[in-house]
Homo-oligomer: A and B are copies of this chain.
Amino acid sequence: MSRIVQKFGGSSVADADSIKRVAKRIVATRQAGHDVVVVISAMGDTTDELMDLALRVSPRPAPRELDMLLTAGERMSAALLAMAIADLGMTARSFTGSQAGVITTAQHGNARIIDITPGRIVSALEAGDVVIVAGFQGVSQDTRDVTTIGRGGSDTTAVALAASLGADHCEIYSDVDGVFTADPRIVPNARHLTEISYEEMLELAACGSKILHLRCVEYARRERIPVHVRSAFTTSDGTWVTDLPDDDAPGRPVITGVAHDVGEAKITIVGVPDRIGEAARIFQEISSIDVGIDMIVQNVSAVATERTDISFTLPKVDSRAAIEALTGIQQEVDFADLLYDDQIGKVSVVGSAMRSHPGVSATFFAALAAADVNLEMISTSGIRISVVIDDQDVPRAVRAAHTAFGLDADQEATVYAGTGR
């Protein structure tokens, strides 16, 4: 008998019928003899609806109270799922994040899991119950206030619970069949991956893949929890995110996948004085308003002017705050101008075999050039190469890279069921 943590997303529990269907699936796992802990998201659009309600009451909802409000969504779906399981003749018990012992930082709206104290869960499992945990939420260590864990919070909760409960693995159910070599909406003959390493999944998540959130993969890698990403609508196997012992096994393609992201914008700070500490000053300012920077490029200083341009990319949603912050320090830093461009996209190729295969960037850039794609920025990690391009060129660039690295399958990926989360 093993212990399994299962996480179901909001689209799997959009209405009463889907809740009953998920309940059957959970009961089947329990009847196969496993201890089952389920982490559940809010039903369908509940979170968006609650957010709308909050904005009708207050233009800037108090963060502590917004967390109190939003966590009601998962509480409801957890209780409903427990009822549906009880109806199938099995005892089930729902817990809020707080009751489940999910201890977090106090950063409302974007808290991080510090620890899990799963005493009540363990007792319920020992009593033979199926345990349902409301995802996306915890309780802050210092204030004992209810917190939300931010994007991907339910996935991260599931992996964290799996680690603290010594589970054999964690299953993440959504409306997609797992991880593909590219987004099948853009590359119809993308291949389904049966497994992928933590490191590669981390890079894909950082480069726009919506399958698993970055923090969730980080947690899984740190705790060495195998994660099975699969569809709630089929019984076919999904993708195992796990330790792959040999990054350079014979026959493995050099590139595991091509990711893209059109959710970022580019800000260029024009005419920054070429003095020590100016870049630090600029990015401290951005960091102080809690905006995450992705790529940074600084051109060589023009000798005549002793000034330089610094460009960086950031999530579009954070652009306004970043521009306001930078405008606030324009006089102090003495830069000339700010340019803003949200018509950009990022395309990345990821593969751990890249470490031992030179020439990947040459192949990638040649494919893009042949597809008539102009490169605006380039950045690399050990197992990833990313380029920023015009957002109109993204589909063409993804398809070109996918073909260039030999990833095209013989047939179209017919199993793809949804639109991601």
Contact = CB atoms under 8 A, between A and B. Distances in A.
Interface stretch (A64-72, A244-252, A272-280, A343-351): A64-72
A12 interface: no
Interface in A12-49: 16, 19-20
Task: Give the oligomeric copy count.
Answer: 2
A125 interface: no
Nearest to A77: B69
Interface stretch (A80-88, A205-213, A323-331): A80-88
Interface in A82-98: 82-84, 86-87, 92-94, 96
Interface size class of A (residues with CB under 8 A): 35 or more
B86 A79 contact: no
A187 B347 CA distance: 76
B65 A86 contact: yes
Given A82-B65, A82-B68, A94-B65, A76 B50 contact: yes
Contacts of A292: none
A68 B57 contact: no
Contacts of A94: 65, 68
A58 interface: yes
Contact of A79 (B60, B69, B92, B96): B69
Interface string A213-237: 0000000000000000000000000
B69 A80 contact: yes
A99 interface: yes
A75 interface: yes
Contact of A66 (B61, B65, B79): B79
Given A64-B93, A94-B68, A57 B83 contact: yes
Interface of A: 16, 19-20, 50, 53-54, 56-62, 64-66, 68-69, 71-72, 75-76, 78-80, 82-84, 86-87, 92-94, 96, 99, 120, 144
17 contacts: A16-B53, A16-B56, A50-B76, A53-B76, A53-B80, A54-B79, A57-B87, A59-B87, A62-B82, A62-B83, A62-B86, A65-B83, A68-B75, A68-B79, A69-B75, A72-B75, A75-B75
